[in-house]
Amino acid sequence: MQILITGANRGIGEAMAASYRAQGHTVLGTARDGSADVTLDVADPGSIRALADVVEGPLDLLVCNAGVYLDKGHTIEKGYRADVWDQSFAVNVTGVFLVIQALLPKLRQAQAGKIAIISSQMGSDERAPGGSYAYRASKAAALNLGRNLATDLKGEGIAVGIYHPGWVRTDMGGEAAEISVAEAAEGLLARFDDLSVAKTGCFETWDGRPHAF
């Protein structure tokens, strides 16, 4: 398979890319700082438009993993500046859609292409403990985006899955998180393998449990 993973220079993205390469697949990992196979800033529409020229031939799996969490620890009184909202949605929502849009012809070439969107349980309506408003709202929007893309692309045989990667010990998740990067990556790869048109639009956890919307 040919696979493209955004945000593949560290954490879960890097681990997923390494696992797929070890299995013998062709992997293109992206990073905005040039530290992966392809330089891509998902918040830059021009950078995204250039991406389609980099991918040669059919794309079997697109993993939209790049994301930011800019409002961690913010308070209602002093946090959540307008630029935090702008950047959160530019990366976590708009960037996801524009990458999918740019690579849709490559996914169609694969005839049974798959799209995996890394969202979060923090975007679920069922989980609302407060705080992290920009991040939660952007991940909720990514979840909604994936659900609607699943409807529109089902007739073409392109499956879309949305996933909560777990609370992972990364720079974003922190050292107190529940699972390792390796555990998250292994679980997510199993979810992507299980994804099909019959399951399109699913929202699942890294270990295969259906997540409430």
CB 135 within 8 A of CB 69: yes
Distances from the Cα of 130 to the Cα of 44, 82, 93, 118, 138, angstroms: 30, 19, 21, 21, 14
> What is the DSSP code string of 120-187?
-GGG-TT---S--HHHHHHHHHHHHHHHHHHHHHGGGT-EEEEEE--SBSSTTT-TT-SB-HHHHHHH
Residue 195's SS3 state is: coil
Active site residue 135: yes
CB 30 within 8 A of CB 36: yes
What the block records as the tokens of 6 is 């955004």
* Catalytic residue list: 135
